[in-house]
A = this chain, B = another copy of it.
Amino acid sequence: MEPKHPVVKPFLTTRSLEPENQETPIHFIENDIIQTPLFYRRNHFSYPKLTYSNYFILINGLVSTPLLLSMLNILQLPSKTIEGVLECAGNKRSLFEPKVFGEQWEKGAMSQGVWKGVPLRTLLEISGIKKEAKEVVVEGYDVGKRTDLDKEVSYSRSLPLDKALHPDTIIAYEYNHQPLSFKHGFPFRLIVPSWYGMASVKWIKQISVIGSHFTGPFQKIDYMYYPNQDNDDGAHPVTTMNVNSTIQKPIDMASLNAGKHEIKGIAWTGKGSITKVEISIDHGKTWSIAEVTNYNLGYKWVSWSFDWYAVKKGNYTVMSKATDSYGQTQPIKPYWNRKDYGYNAIDHIKVKIE
């Protein structure tokens, strides 16, 4: 009797089960496509109960022709494939100081893969947008109660017209060349590349074109940057992902032998593309350029690595800093905001060379 070689694999990290919130084990991801079982799960409510036999998407509001589209209607339209990062606006929230209440996401509230679907634009063009249109509201089948409101609400989000009509904003029905999984929005979820994940509504129920600014709680209470603790002055919406990077190896607080070590990780941004990743071993006094495997990946993250010759024993802080084509670079301190969104400070880990 010979044992098989034991399989050693990472798992999602559980943050809560009701609703299900679990993050991708981002430090242990070897390739640049996250398989469905390790794709982070972020829900505001428990999973909806859907009946596919009479599933339709309703398109209404400021349109010439309201539409009721069946699954087949949508699958027959010309498709588009998008590869890219999906990142929760609360990714890395647990790194803010002081901590705020909410899901304590570490660095894995993000994943990456390949979505196939129909541009939202296509549906809106079939329906015909009236000229008073300002925003497009996408409502999911997921509903529930919030601690701050008395009545049940659905998870709904709006996009400004230009983003709704962007040809890469799609209604996805496949992920990694397989039907989208139920937990990730089957049969249809919105994918809004370059924006934080809150925009990518799952289990689409209704698409409404409106002539005002949408005021649902996930638009005007959550997913807003509030710069002040005590008032809402300067509040502005969470939209595009910030330039960011994460060190995947070594693991924070690792003890290593003196010698050569590969420092590796990923970097991504919402607007533009990554142009540079730098590494510092001396608390930011000096920076060295990391090797980036492939620039210009569209909406995908880039992978980077840096060979570190750690000769002298001692404790080190390893830092990574990404810069994008719009000149945005990771700050030393994160942009503090009351609900702790958009953390993108320079990443750092500590290691001991012994």
Contacts and interface: CB of A to CB of B under 8 A. Distances in A.
Contacts of A351: 101
A8 B20 contact: yes
A6 interface: yes
A253 interface: yes
A3 interface: yes
B148 A354 contact: yes
Given A101-B352, A352-B101, A6 B147 contact: no
DSSP class of A's interface residues: helix, strand, loop or mixed? loop
A212 interface: no
Interface string A1-40: 1110110111111111110101001011000000000000
A344 B182 CA distance: 41
A318 to B, nearest CB: 13
Contacts of A315: 101
A140 to B, nearest CB: 15
A220 B13 CA distance: 34
Interface residues of A, number: 48
Nearest to A258: B147
Interface in A252-296: 252-257
Given A11-B14, A352-B101, A255 B51 contact: no
B183 A253 contact: no
B52 A1 contact: yes
Contacts of A25: 14
Contact of A104 (B15, B28, B252): B252
Interface in A338-354: 350-352, 354
A13 B16 contact: no
24 contacts: A1-B52, A1-B53, A2-B51, A2-B52, A3-B186, A6-B183, A8-B18, A8-B47, A9-B17, A10-B17, A10-B22, A11-B13, A11-B22, A13-B13, A13-B14, A14-B28, A99-B350, A101-B315, A101-B350, A101-B352, A102-B253, A147-B257, A147-B354, A148-B354
By Cβ-Cβ distance, the 3 closest A-B pairs, closest first, are A11-B11, A10-B14, A101-B352
